[in-house]
Structure 1
């Protein structure tokens, strides 16, 4: 059930016909980290250099969620999308 909802959420975000989400950097990192945890599991290796600011921020956000199961990460991803776009599940007319 949660996997289907997660896939629907991914499709909603990818669909250019939908209005863009008004997200801040923290929310973008949340989406990234939850997606990576859902699809790849826990991060492997060490964090990128502090000089690689973006890559390091993404890795650290993902690392902060490494204890979530695949299903928990999927559910949190759906919850975040629902918070930012409450009507995303409603069918288009």
Structure 2
């Protein structure tokens, strides 16, 4: 699963691939799943309500804190597959 997750990350980072058509919720999902897969559960408390973006990112990550590293990777790949079904054909390792 880790190799497929890395492939998915490389696909998203590769600017030669078509951009994903994502809404803010999906962007938060990608962020939260990435953080959970790479860093584990969030530590500390949520940023101030005045820091809207930082708080939204933290809360999205916090909502997934019970996922294992592997589950977060699997959900990340599933989200990418939903948005770009043929991503594996263009992905580089």
Interval of TM-score (by shorter of Structure 1 and Structure 2): over 0.9
Q: Which runs of 5+ in 1 are unaligned?
A: none
Residue 8 of structure 2 aligns with which residue?
9
The separation in 1 between residues aligned to 2:89 and 2:49, in whole angstroms, is: 42
Matched, 1:48 2:47: yes
User: Aligned residue for 2:83?
Assistant: 84
Which of the pair has the greater relative contact order for Cα pairs under 8 Å at 6+ separation? Answer: 2
Shift of residue 90 of structure 1? 1.2
How far off its partner does 1:91 sit? 4.4
Give the paired residue count. 91
- Deviation track 1:30-81 (CA, whole Å, cap 9, x = no partner) reads 0000000000000000000000000000000000000000000000000000
What's 1:62 paired with? 61
With the length of structure 1 as denominator, give the TM-score of the two structures: 0.96
Task: State whether residues 11 and 90 of structure 2, in contact with CA within 8 Å, keep that contact through their aligned partners in structure 1.
Answer: no
Gaps of 5+ in 2: none
Measured in 2, the distance between the counterparts of 1:67 and 1:33 equals: 12
C-alpha deviation, 1:15, in angstroms: 0.2
Match of 2:27 in 1: 28
